[in-house]
Structure 1
Amino acid sequence: MTEPLSPSAEPLGERRIVDAALAVARRDGLDQVTMRGLARHFGVTTMAIHYHVPTREALLSLVVERVLGQVEAPPDGPWEDRLRAVHRRLSAAVSDCPGVADYLVDITRTRHGTRLADLATGILLDAGFDERTTVLAQATTQAYWVGYLKLAAGFQRRGGPPARHQTADDPQIYPALDRVALARSALDAETYLEFALDVIIAGFRGRRSAPGR
């Protein structure tokens, strides 16, 4: 990661800086991306990085924008299938870049984040929700995106869900958690995703104001 820039290499610019920052974010997490570290990587001064990307916050936003830009709109079909497809595509794009989920709390901070919010909102409107219910349903969907993606990132760090409550000296202190420990150990992040999608969509169905398209 410390190979200096050679004279024949492509000139340093925003695209190369974001490429390098994204590689760091995928390997170590978004919070480990620093202007100083990128300067070492390219063999330049920190000021040279700032010349192309003015602040670290701007750089992180560009990385998030690159990740979210990978999420394509789903094909036409039932609204349930389209909403599932957005969830799955977002999960695939974000799951290998820890820290991006934090930006989904305020999803309109980037252009592609706004595009995804608009996409989910449009799917819900097509499903027949009135405007007020659409706003609430989209916020619920967004909150789930954040929670699920953080859960998935935790699974990656740990290699899976914990088999039991790790702080208990005696498992019987938490008998309910101990009772489900075996079942929990058999679950992966994808299973949590699919279960939650079933629950969310089932709950949404009962609040439509018109037949879905």
Structure 2
Amino acid sequence: MARTARLSSSLIVSTALDLVDRHGVDALTMRALARALGADPMAVYRHVRDKEALLGALCDAVLADLDRFDPDRPWRGQLERFAWQLRDSLAARPSLAAVLAGAPVTPAALALTQQAVVLMTGQGVPLDVAAGGLATVFAYVIGFAVTEASLPDPAEGRDELRRAALHHLGDPETEPPHLDTALRLVEQPADFGFGLELILEGLERRVPPTGSSRDADGS
């Protein structure tokens, strides 16, 4: 068993993230974490108050791992990059998406917000548009990730979805046109990039011409 003196907040968080990556949030308990650390559970509690605080620390770590906003690069490309990075991070650990949706504001979230607002307002974006736009993008990414995590495995769920659809349509002998298309929309959320593009284009329409940027890659 590892000596508890070697425990640190960063080690606890990285080990907890590894557990979430392999087994999901539901499997993350203070006992399981202590076992993975080779430590006594009470030693872990000396570094983290409870599971709620631990989950908050995990959310903070995920956000802190994202690239910082650069005030010298166009705002639209950087906001797009932020959205994709967060989406990819949550796709790698889908059970954490719902936790992040309900998590309190963390230091990393505050830092990212401040960087983004400074970036956008410095390039002519009105403050209310910058704040509202960032909140909208964040909510979109989280909502998309939560929805994606809740969907059944397409290989296992497609037949069940088809049976349910035909049952509710009332005529199992007659398959309506475009049913396959409709089932695909049920099985998986709309393309992430398409929705993100709509949000970013809507934001640009609210920005005076001098604050507009079509540079999608942030360079």
TM-score by length of 2: 0.74
Alignment of 1:28 with 2:29, yes or no, is no
Q: Distance in 2 between matches of 1:160 and 1:208?
A: 44
After superposing the two structures, state which structure 1 stretch, 129-138 or 198-207, moved more.
129-138
Secondary structure in structure 1 of the residue aligned to 2:210: coil
Q: Which residue pairs with 2:199 in the alignment? A: 200
Aligned runs of 1:10-49 on 2, under 5 Å? 11-49=6-44
Residue correspondence of structure 1 range 174-185 to structure 2 within 5 A: 178=179, 180-181=181-182, 184=185
Matched, 1:70 2:65: yes
Amino acid of the structure 2 residue aligned with 1:134: A
Please, what is the CA RMSD of the aligned residues? Answer: 3.5
- What count of residue pairs does the alignment treat as equivalent? 205
Name the % identity: 26
Tell me which amino acid in the other structure corresponds to 1:200: I
106-115 or 171-180: bigger deviation:
171-180
Asked if the contact 1:70–1:93 (Cα under 8 Å) also holds between the matched residues in 2, the reply is: no
Instruction: Tell me the equivalent position of 1:114.
Output: 110
The CA distance in 2 between the partners of 1:171 and 1:211, in whole Å, is 55
Q: Which structure has the higher relative contact order (CA within 8 Å, separation 6+)?
A: 2
In the alignment, is the contact (CA less than 8 A) between 1:165 and 1:177 conserved in 2? no
Alignment equivalent of 1:138, drawn from 119, 134, 158: 134
Mapped contact 1:39–1:46 kept (Cα < 8 A): yes
Are the counterparts in 2 of residues 68 and 90 from structure 1 also a CA contact under 8 Å?
A: yes
2:47 partner amino acid: H
CA offset at residue 106 of structure 1?
Answer: 5.8
Displacement of 1:118 in angstroms is 2.5
Unmatched runs of 5 consecutive residues or more in structure 1? none
- Matched to 1:204, the amino acid is L
Distance 1:211 1:85 in 2: 21
Q: Equivalents in 2 of 1:168, 1:178: separation in Å?
A: 12
Unaligned runs of 5+ in 2: 171-175, 213-219
